[in-house]
Structure 1
Amino acid sequence: MDTSRFNLDQVNLRSKGKLPEHMGIRFTSIQDGELQAEIEIQPFHLAPNGFLHAGSIVTLADTACGYGCIAHLPQGAENFTTIELKSNHLGTAREGVIAVTAKPVHLGRTTQVWDATVIHKDTGKTIALFRCTQMVLWPK
């Protein structure tokens, strides 16, 4: 991991003006093999039924895994793109803070696989389990 490019300040700055900032995603920890982020639930994170929207959860988890992938690209790789994602939703919330921890399962030259667990920060209750596969992109 290139810590000069991917320290906590740089990761949060990278989100400016993009979906992660709009969603209120704030990275709280970045280290080799793990990223953590959180969202303070706002009304726009909720579905019409008043519970946390699944898309809000997936956006938090996918963002953490995506930044993890960027931070752990092989030497010489240019970027990545997500080729598959899956989420299992085990609970929900209406208020408070949800937090995610993303960890790599596989860091290959052509693909990476990342797992993320989303919890309600106040209760510790698991909200969702998430897995995604990214394709590593190389210069032409």
Structure 2
Amino acid sequence: MAEDFSAALTAGQAGFLPDLLGLEWRVAMPGHVKGRFDVDKRHMAPNGFLHAASVIALADSASGYGCMISLPEGGTSFTTIELKSNFLGTARDGGVAVEAKLVHGGKTTQVWDAVVTAEATGKTIALFRCTQMILRPKG
């Protein structure tokens, strides 16, 4: 069974945006990441609905962490070159969860799909896809 990096990722994000948003990682294995946060005021837009940026931060962090722990041989890091999100719902309280999966793991790019849901209802809040460019040492 693959190593679970969830505790290391959670510890490593201290003081960075994912930590400031209270993102928690439940599963983090090559090709698959699950995480969540408890909705509070910092996640909301002034209109009283979940801020789209909070949802994107969760999905993008899950995908980015997944990329880091799924790098191909010779890859040292990554950068996001494209992301897209379709918003289908919202949450005003409770928990918000994400499940991200690697759908393409090449030598130069990875593509990740993530589904963000309201934990209480299981309703899909957003569908997310991003493409990561694999970085390698120059030389």
What's 1:118 paired with? 116
Cα displacement (A) at 1:33: 2.1
Give 2:69's aligned residue. 71
- 5 Å-filtered alignment, 1:1-140, equals 3=3, 7-140=5-138
Question: Stretches of 4+ moved more than 2 A in 1?
Answer: none
Q: Which runs of 5+ in 2 are unaligned?
A: none
| CA distance in structure 1 between the aligned counterparts of 2:30 and 2:83, rounded to whole angstroms | 22
Residue type of the partner of 1:138?
R
Q: Distance in 2 between the 1:85 and 1:32 partners?
A: 20
- Structure 1 unaligned runs (5+)? none
Structure 2 length as normaliser, TM-score? 0.95
Q: Match for 2:62: what amino acid?
A: A
Amino acid at match of 2:20: H
* % identical equivalent positions: 53
Q: Cα RMSD over matched residues?
A: 1.1
The offset of 1:11, in angstroms, is 1.1
How many residue pairs match? The answer is 137
In the TM superposition, residue 29 of structure 1 has moved relative to its aligned partner by: 1.0
Give yes or no for contact 2:38–2:95 (8 Å, CA) kept in 1.
yes
Question: 2:46 & 2:67 partners in 1: Cα distance?
Answer: 33
Distance in 2 of aligned mates of 1:115 and 1:106: 10
* Aligned partners of 2:81 and 2:132 also within 8 Å: yes
Q: By how many angstroms is 1:113 displaced?
A: 0.3
Q: SS of 1:118's equivalent?
A: strand
TM-score by length of 1: 0.95
Distance 2:52 2:5 in 1: 29
